[in-house]
């Protein structure tokens, strides 16, 4: 009987490997930017993002974000923070409350949690 080793690659290893063959730099950059917040990066995310973009989905980032980060509130906050049309923190808070039907306090709790995760991933 053959021995099968289950070697789990790190998120960074998966990202580098995908970079060798993915021909969509926008999707590659998007996933790479969010890597510190994703527990396990899958090559499927890159493929799905590229398929959505190729199909002309205007909101491909949000769809991919929801796939990568299933927590609706966390995904909403990340999407809102990346929205360049929102210029002030108050606009971002208001959009978060409208999108999630939660509170200002929840916005800041999740924002703090994400900052800690990013810091851990960077350090």
Q: Are 24 and 53 in contact (CB under 8 A)?
A: yes
Q: Supply φ then ψ for residue 9, to 5 degrees.
A: -85, 150
Is 55 a residue whose pLDDT tops 60?
yes
Q: How confident is the model at residue 122 (pLDDT cuts 50, 70, 90)?
A: low
Determine the average pLDDT of the residues in 12-32: 94
Domain boundaries, the chain: 9-69, 71-123
Q: Which residue has the tokens 């939660």?
A: 102
Q: Supply φ then ψ for residue 71, to 5 degrees.
A: -70, 110
Q: Are 86 and 76 in contact (CB under 8 A)?
A: no
pLDDT the model gives residue 35? 86
């Amino acid at each position: 009987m053959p021995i099968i080793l289950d070697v789990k690659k790190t998120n960074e290893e998966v990202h580098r490997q995908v970079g060798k063959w993915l021909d969509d730099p926008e999707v590659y950059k998007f996933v790479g930017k969010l890597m510190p917040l994703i527990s396990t990066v899958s090559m499927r995310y890159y493929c799905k993002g590229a398929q959505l973009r190729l199909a002309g989905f205007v909101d491909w980032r949000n769809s991919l974000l929801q796939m990568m980060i299933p927590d609706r509130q966390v995904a909403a906050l990340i999407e809102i923070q990346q929205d360049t049309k929102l210029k002030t923190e108050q606009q971002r808070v208001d959009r978060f409350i409208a999108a999630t039907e939660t509170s200002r306090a929840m916005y800041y709790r999740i924002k703090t949690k994400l900052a800690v995760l990013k810091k851990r991933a960077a350090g």
